Every structure is written in C-alpha cells, then in structure tokens.
C-alpha cells in the first residue's frame, strides 16, 4: 500500500517480504533490479525549465498550443513504436536490439517525455503532483491482496 508523507511525496508502504513465486513455484518477477536507482537526478521542474528556455529562445510558444504539443507527442510515440514494429517480443534491457536501436529508443522516449512535460506545462498541470495523486489512487484500486500476481482490470474484483 502506498501513501503520501508530510512532504507530499509518495511513499511505498508495501510489505515487500512476500515471495515473488507464483502458485507453480516459479519466480514471476521479470526484473530483479527494477527498484535500484536508474535515473539521473534531474527534477521534472529542471527539465521543464530547460525546455521552456529552448522554446522561448526560438519564439516557438506561439506554435506550442496544448493540441499541437499533444499531436507532436503522439507522433513521437509512433516513432518509438516503429523501432519495435514487426519484431518478436523484446526482453528487459532490450538485448535483442542493436546498440544503435537502443540509442534510438532513448532518443524517441526522450522526445515523448519532452513533449509530455511541455503538454503539462501548456495545460498548467503540476505533473509530479498529478503523478503522485494517480499512483496513490492506483494503489487503492489495486490492493496487493487482490491484485497480487494477476493482470485483471480492477473492475473484476470490485
């Protein structure tokens, strides 16, 4: 279960002592190191400010309406999808892709995030706060005891 701490940050209160093994005894966990730090320490706000400067210096705010930025983001989602298109299943860490393809994935996912930050900014949405709120709601909708090891929609066990 997750909740908010005094600073408004999402804190993970889940009991992580349970086994990841499913009923057949297999370890159902795909990633063993998913919770180790992976991202560099740039805040959403720092990234947003850097991008606002990029847009302002080019006098591009006139083009960056919420609708235009949303469409640009969807275009980048398409570009990311193209890298995976017609391939078989791809494993965590993308070992099936070439180094150039992995680099390309990083570029396209960055374009998506840049446009997402831009979109949130154009809509005056405090994105990290909205994400924390949504994660808290997700944890309530999908309680561990009901959702553990199941991929059902929450409506199946309401």
Ligand X SMILES: Nc1ccn([C@H]2C[C@H](O)[C@@H](COP(=O)(O)OP(=O)(O)OP(=O)(O)O)O2)c(=O)n1
Q: Is 148 in the site for ligand X (CB under 6 A)?
A: no
Cα separation, 135 vs 33, in Å, equals 20
152 Cβ contact partners less than 8 Å away, ≥ 6 residues apart: none
Q: Is 157 in the site for ligand X (CB under 6 A)?
A: no
Q: Which of residues 59-118 bind ligand X (CB under 6 A)?
A: 60, 63, 79, 111, 114
Residue closest to 43 by CA, chosen among 122, 104, 131, 138: 131
The answer to whether residues 140 and 71 touch, using CB atoms and an 8 Å cutoff, is no
Q: How near is the Cβ of 44 to ligand X at its closest, in Å?
A: 16
Q: How near is the Cβ of 87 to ligand X at its closest, in Å?
A: 19
Q: How near is the Cβ of 157 to ligand X at its closest, in Å?
A: 40
* Residues contributing to the site for ligand X (CB under 6 A): 60, 63, 79, 111, 114
């Amino acid at each position: 279960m997750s909740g908010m701490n005094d600073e408004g940050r999402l804190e993970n209160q889940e009991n992580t002592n349970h086994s990841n093994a499913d009923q057949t005894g297999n370890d159902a966990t795909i990633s063993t190191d998913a919770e180790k730090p992976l991202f560099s320490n740039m805040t959403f706000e720092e990234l947003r400010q850097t991008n606002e400067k990029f847009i302002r210096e080019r006098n591009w705010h006139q083009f960056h309406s919420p609708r235009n930025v949303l469409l640009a983001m969807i275009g980048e989602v398409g570009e990311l999808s193209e890298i995976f298109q017609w391939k078989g299943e791809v494993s965590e860490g993308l070992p099936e892709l070439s180094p150039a393809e992995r680099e390309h994935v990083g570029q396209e996912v960055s374009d998506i995030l840049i446009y997402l930050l831009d979109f949130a900014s154009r809509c005056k949405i405090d994105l990290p706060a909205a994400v924390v709120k949504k994660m808290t709601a997700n944890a309530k909708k999908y309680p561990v005891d009901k959702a553990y090891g199941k991929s059902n929609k929450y409506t199946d066990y309401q």
